[in-house]
Amino acid sequence: MRDTFLQNRHQDQFEQEGYVLFSQFLPPAVVEALRQQYFQWDHDLGEGFHATMHSHDISYRKKVHQSMVDHIQPHADKVLKNYRPLVANYTVKEVGEESFFDFHLDWNMVDERKSRSVTIWVALDDTDAHNGNLWILEQSHLLPATYRCGPGLRLMAHNGELFKHKKLCKRALPMKAGDAIIYDHKLFHGSPPNLSDAVRIGLNYAMAPREIPAIHYLWSGGPGDVQSSPTLPIEAREVEDDFFLSCIINDSGAAKKYTLSLDVIEETLTAYGQDEVNQHILDVDQERLREQGYQVVGSLFDQQRMQRGMSWVIKAKNITKTYNVQRTIESACHAIRGLSFEVEHGETIGLLGPNGSGKSTLLKILSGITKPSSGEVQMRGKVASILEVGTGFHPDLTGRENLFLSGKLLGMSTEEIRQHEKEIIEFSGIAPFIDQRVRTYSSGMFMRLAFSIMAFLESDILLLDEVFSVGDASFRQKAEERIRNLKSNRTVILVSHDIGQIASLCDRVFQLDRGQMIHKGSPREVVNHYALSSWLNTSARLHNEDNVDDVALMGALSKGVWDIEYQGSKVPIEAIYDEKLLQEKGRLSLAITSPKSIWSTTRIAFSIAQIGQPPFWATPVDAPPTSSAAERQIGNTTIDLSMLNKGWYSITFSLLDKAKEGGEIERWPRALSFEIKGDNNQAHEGAKGFSGPIVCSTTWHYNPSQ
């Protein structure tokens, strides 16, 4: 899907949040000109909330639209990537309770599976909770695409299942005059009533990519639902850009107030010569509809619509997988033991665990390659997977032929595959070899092509098993970025032994051990748990409220003795830190006791690392003074560790040879360990979800922008 914004930081926020806020998007002079124009042209559209689109005077609507294009498009072109205007409105809240506008979706103006239409909403007055500031429903743009025949269809916002989705929270957005929000048309939004003593004015500026045709969706079968009709009569018709300016909203009755008159739609389409354009978006029988989790609750005539009834796309209930190695019960291998979980639409899930923990077996069950011995798995949508190098490729076909074969297996047409062919080959980086048989490919070339195909061809769920274990660093970095871009509209399950990769890419992580799920939660929490349990070489027990993990029972290692070989005999070096000072003050008070004799030819250094990660901090230990006569010397130092993130850390000591430019003679790995809990620390609160070792508080000072 093409980018919406010119700048990457705006695009990243848009993908994650569904909107981007801009301070002083319009200069004060433009804001005042648009306000005065509204009062000069006011059509007296009644009480409560109203917009220019509610007027039946087409010439008035087009006049408002053109004026807003002249004022706003130059500013839109500075932030959006080649977008054109489709319809512009004043959006006005008169004073009174009637101006309340519940959560709703804007018009569906393009095929949202392939592109995005957006709205620029600009405040022409200062807005707050008292006069009807904008509300948005956070993360609602990640819900599955729906088909909207007009503005204001609200039923989906009232559905109880929607508000059970843990990510959906209402957020108020007070704004200053001239501020703007650019939001995805799939983002639910609304506003409280205007209870001030003055009218509140804003504007809507709906846009679509210049190269994408405008689409209008309509219900062609009349009132009814899936029980009375074996197919869903939802049609998509390509329309001219000014179609949305010309449709009259039917206000003949309260039940149809925000539903377009289908008679007017048909007349308008006829005028544009689009009668033959009749693409059925959904044409599925009842059984397939239920399998995909759809629920039809009425027709557009009743302001009701089709939607997904629940948010999960993968649901596993008490699944097991047993292999009888020698056809006897005694020799049975239990690869999966009673796993139950749900994965929501748009989530990226990481699977961590040692070899033999059941990760690959679980992916094979989810992909349908093997069936569980017991339990139930439900999947919603098309599933694409990369489970082993070369899986799914025919060795005697060329790379290009396998590309088309994979697309066909995903249910895509030849034309749809051709639309992605060039970008897949370019992304894979194996263009010179794309017409050679894949039996001649290296393992890295296999994985490059397999990942590129699955990442660009259309699927709902993507299963990846150690896809980055082969291939070079540059492709790995490019592939990781591609996964981040997929997160808004695909569900991804990723198996990797690279805990840094899991932490940076995933929303949640499941830790498996011997076929059981022993831990699940945020990436930082599970990665730390996995790294520590691996380091201690222990298997944690099943996590429940009554038990404590074995890892926690072992506690921190605050002291230790290191026996080194020096001049033919063993010499002890002792290290200890003050655990109480570390937990209360965030300061590491470290004491090292060493024999004076070793310092003539060697020196000591130590490093600190998050457990399971490379060191991020290292320093030499100062030598004791030569004037001291005592053979054993105690050296003390104190290090401020308040900048460390929550998690477990280890200290490694090294004995270095002075004569060989500091070459390492001996190492004491993970000599000491400690946990940073980060309690009552605002910096740690701000770093939730971040898995790196350093967390620093910063203070920002602002001045007015020129």
Q: Closest by alpha carbon to 134, among 168, 167, 104?
A: 104
Start-to-end C-alpha separation, the chain: 35
Most confident of 202-211, 401-410, 513-522, 684-693: 202-211
Question: Between the CA of residue 512 and those of 258, 325, 544, 573, what are the distances in Å?
Answer: 51, 22, 15, 38
Each residue of 669-702: pLDDT tens digit?
Answer: 878 888 887 654 544 454 554 667 887 777 888 8
pLDDT at 564 over 90: no
Residue type, 507: D
Q: What is the longest distance spanned by two Cα atoms in the chain?
A: 104
DSSP state of 18: S
Mean pLDDT of 590-605: 88
- What local confidence, expressed as pLDDT, does residue 150 receive? 47
Which of these ranges, 373-377, 505-509, 611-615, has the smallest mean pLDDT?
Answer: 611-615
Question: Between the CA of residue 656 and those of 598, 620, 659, 670, what are the distances in Å?
Answer: 10, 10, 9, 17
Which of these ranges, 99-113, 209-223, 226-240, 641-655, has the smallest mean pLDDT?
Answer: 226-240
Name 361's Cβ contacts closer than 8 Å, sequence gap at least 6.
321, 335, 336, 370, 515
More confident residue, 451 or 7: 7
Name 523's Cβ contacts closer than 8 Å, sequence gap at least 6.
350, 502, 503, 504, 506, 507, 508, 509, 689, 691
More confident residue, 457 or 87: 87
- What local confidence, expressed as pLDDT, does residue 390 receive? 55
Which of these ranges, 120-134, 475-489, 622-636, has the smallest mean pLDDT?
Answer: 475-489
Each residue of 420-437: pLDDT tens digit?
Answer: 899 999 998 899 999 999
Mean pLDDT of 150-155: 37
Instruction: Find the helix packing angle between 414-428 and 443-456, rounded to 10°.
Output: 130
Each residue of 32-84: pLDDT tens digit?
Answer: 999 999 988 866 777 788 888 878 788 888 999 999 999 999 999 999 999 99
- What local confidence, expressed as pLDDT, does residue 281 receive? 24
Rounded to the nearest integer, the mean pLDDT of the chain is 76
- What local confidence, expressed as pLDDT, does residue 305 receive? 26
Angle at 5 between CA 427 and CA 192, to 5 degrees: 135
Question: Which H or E run includes 20?
Answer: strand 19-22
Beta pairing class for 19-22 and 180-184 = antiparallel
Yes or no: say if 278 and 233 are a contact pair by the CB < 8 Å rule: no
Yes or no: say if 207 and 117 are a contact pair by the CB < 8 Å rule: yes
Mean pLDDT of 501-524: 87
Yes or no: say if 533 and 540 are a contact pair by the CB < 8 Å rule: yes
* CA–CA dist 159, 304 (Å, integer): 11
Q: Which domains does the chain have, with CATH numbers?
A: 216-308 (no CATH), 555-686 (2.60.40.2550)
Residue type, 151: P
395's tokens? 């060795």
* E strands present in 174-242: 180-184, 189-191, 200-209, 214-219, 234-239
- What local confidence, expressed as pLDDT, does residue 90 receive? 93
Q: Which residue has the tokens 């004060």?
A: 28
Each residue of 611-668: pLDDT tens digit?
Answer: 767 888 888 888 888 777 788 889 899 988 888 887 788 888 998 888 877 788 888 8
* CA–CA dist 179, 122 (Å, integer): 6
Instruction: Find the helix packing angle between 473-486 and 443-456, rounded to 10°.
Output: 20
Per-residue buried b or exposed e for 40-60, using 16+ beta carbons within 10 Å of the residue's own CB: eeebebeebbbbbbbbeeeee
